[in-house]
Chain A
């Protein structure tokens, strides 16, 4: 974005670039008014009410529950992101190489789950995971277990429920990234004698990483704000930061404290994201250019 606004390399006329920058104005204004300004107000409220100072943050950091909820949230989002990546990568690889009717069919399979709300899908997973549920029936019938397992509430249910919801958000950027890879490079490597494994590891994988980067960021950030799925499938230990923020904002009506909690979550998220970008950039000079 910044590049578009500054004069381009090679002394090309800058007016063209300024023309592009104008296109950024409507969304920029929209975000400034409806996102940035409210966000600034949230931060200000956490610092100014009921009295100017850091008292609200004192409460956030003084209470073990908030720190625990925050670490639960990050851990859960992290596990979900890794699982999504592991499942989505081969799938996206297959879809990216398909075309025509098969590509459309695959895309429909990826997109259809998005049409059902997260609440309904979470209730669906309750029916799968409960003691008298489908999964227990199956395990017993196959002789894998001999008594019914208590899976609800539990981490397995939370992770499966969340991965199910987040998977399309990993698959789509991966496909976009993979379809942009010039397969002639693979052919060239083949001609030059590189075995399949090496072609994948040294050409395809590095070139697919921008897609991975986008998918990981998208899934991780969204998972941090998850609310209903951990509430329905998780137990006491799955108290997420969003649940506590909602409680303070909507039930206690303590907006200064809710603002401080939200700001803390935002700062932690931003720091994690910056660290992640840095690591990606260091290991892969291709990204970020």
Chain B
């Protein structure tokens, strides 16, 4: 089916090109190449789906279609699929949303198109979000959360050191990313001096609370064990606990010593409509669209101007608003892209022992 579609696409393109060339020749237009390039009727953007995709659709996809007439279809953003498509030279995706550390790994393996910074405006972006081959688009936080029925306000761990000293079971993500960082903060490493990560020290720190760790693997899982009181305190992502908190579940969280993790836009190498891909990313990073995104889901914009468009009650919950940003720290995606394999091996050997 996909082959038929691409054949059809080719035929249309060829015909369109011939037609435009004929018109171009007839009119004797000097700037023929610009006219020759046919605009695609649709683009494919892969995302993580769910609420996040809904927010993207409202904030970015709809304005893009209004502006350009190009419709957007979406699909799941499996990292392995991107690699397979690039290797087979059969790329279906124009743009993909990926976790930033995975985007960095993809960039290292040469799977991504370099971003065209002459089309995308980086002047308004906050520090540390723009890279050669990917750009962060929204920022979430890995932070301390607790069940308000089981933990009194006085008992709430104010930082990771207190979280480690907490008496009771504690939830942590069963991955070295993010978990090693908070283990190091718990052990007294300054939040701004985490990198390069001392893997051994991080594991030793985890070892101190080993028997009382509840390892969770999925975002939906951590929300469930926290709401049901299976763990009184846990590390969690704000996107997973904000909704339940707002709808009255006994959960709360703070962003002190939060670790900032991001989604990023990438363009797979060999993407079919590169120019439109760049233009889409440029639009998605504009202040008003970024602000519209943050109104729907509590992930922080990366455009500093967008923050100025948002009211105080929204800013309070966003990881990148100035008040929250100064108590938090960014996960270093480049460190993970370079050392992820090593950290992963050390972690799995430790955790299965």
Answer yes or no: A173 CB below 8 A from chain B CBs. no
| Interface flags, A112-152, vs B, CB<8A=1, else 0 | 00000000000100110011110000000000000000101
Which of B340, B345, B352 has the most chain A CB atoms inside 10 A of its CB? B352
- What is the bound-complex CA distance between A130 and B224, given in angstroms? 10
With the chains together, A64 CA to B346 CA distance in Å?
10
Q: Are B345 and A65 in contact (CB under 8 A)?
A: yes
**Chain B residues, CB < 8 A from A132:** 228-230
Residue from B83, B218, B230 whose CB has the most chain A CB atoms within 10 Å:
B230
* Among B111, B169, B221, contact of A232 (Cβ-Cβ < 8 Å): B221
B80 proximal to A (CB < 8 A): yes
Query: Distance (Å) between the CB of B321 and the closest chain A CB?
Result: 30
CB distance from A188 to the nearest CB of B (A): 55
Residue in A63, A123, A133, A150 whose CB lies within 8 Å of B345: A63
B91 smallest CB distance to A (angstroms) = 16
Of the candidate stretches B101-109, B157-165, B294-302, B309-317, the one touching chain A is: B101-109
Distance in angstroms from A67 CB to nearest chain B CB is 9
Given contacts A236-B215, A253-B79, A253-B106, contact A126 B224 (CB under 8 A): yes
A236 to B212, CA, bound (A): 12
* Residue from the list B78, B174, B344 in contact with A250, Cβ < 8 A: B78
A168 interface residue (CB < 8 Å to B): no
**Least distance between B151 CB and chain A CB atoms (Å):** 15
Q: Is B27 an interface residue (CB 8 A)?
A: no
- Is B348 at the interface (CB under 8 A from chain A)? yes
Closest residue of B by beta carbon distance from A127: B228
Q: Return A114 CB to nearest CB of chain B, in Å.
A: 22
Q: Complex formed: what's the CA distance from A255 to B341 in Å?
A: 12
Contact A253 B109 (CB under 8 A): yes
Known contacts A253-B80, A253-B109, A126 near B221 by CB under 8 Å: yes
Q: B80 near A250 (CB under 8 angstroms)? A: yes
Of all chain B residues, the one with the shortest Cβ separation from A123 is: B224
| A residues less than 8 Å from B220 (CB atoms) | 123
Q: Is B72 in the interface zone, CB < 8 Å from A?
A: no
- Whether B353 pairs with A64 at a CB distance below 8 angstroms is yes
Docked Cα-Cα span, A272 to B256, in Å, equals 52
Q: With an 8 A cutoff between CB atoms, is A249 at the interface?
A: yes
Q: How far, in angstroms, from A249 to B78 measured CA to CA in the complex?
A: 10
- B105 pairs with A69, CB closer than 8 A: no
Bound CA span A69–B106, Å: 27
- Contact A152/B230 with A123-B224, A249-B80, A251-B79 known, Cβ cut-off 8 Å: yes
Closest residue of chain A to B221 (Cβ to Cβ) is: A232
Q: Does B25 contact A (CB under 8 A)?
A: no
Q: Which residues of chain A have C-beta atoms less than 8 A from B228's C-beta?
A: 127, 130, 132-133
- Within 8 Å CB of A254, what residues of B? 341
Query: B90-129 vs A: 1/0 string, CB under 8 Å?
Result: 0000000000001001100101000000000000000000
Smallest beta-carbon distance B330→chain A, Å: 19
Do the beta carbons of A236 and B344 come within 8 Å of each other?
no
Minimal Cβ-Cβ distance residue in B for A235: B215
Specify which of A63, A133, A152 is in contact with B349 (CB 8 Å cutoff): A63
Query: Which residues of A have CB within 8 Å of B225?
Result: 126, 130
Chain B residues 307-353 with CB under 8 Å of chain A are: 340-341, 344-345, 348-349, 351-353
The complex places the Cα of A254 from the Cα of B214 at a distance, in Å, of 28
Q: Is the CB of B218 within 8 A of A231?
A: yes
Interface string of B195-225 (1 = CB under 8 A from A): 0000000000000000001110110110011
A250 touches B79 (CB 8 A): yes
Q: Which of B105, B217, B218 is in CB contact (< 8 Å) with A253?
A: B105
- Which B residues are CB-close (under 8 A) to A252? 105, 340-341, 344
Minimum Cβ distance to chain A for residue B2 (Å): 15
Residues in B neighbouring A249, C-beta threshold 8 A = 80
Apart from A126-B221, A253-B109: 9 A-B pairs, beta carbons within 8 A: A64-B349, A72-B352, A126-B224, A127-B224, A152-B230, A239-B348, A252-B344, A253-B80, A254-B341
3 nearest A-B pairs in the assembled complex, by CB-CB distance:
A65-B348, A65-B349, A68-B352
A-B contact pairs, 16 of them (CB 8 A): A63-B345, A64-B349, A72-B352, A126-B224, A130-B230, A131-B229, A132-B230, A133-B228, A152-B230, A231-B217, A232-B218, A236-B215, A244-B348, A249-B80, A250-B80, A253-B79
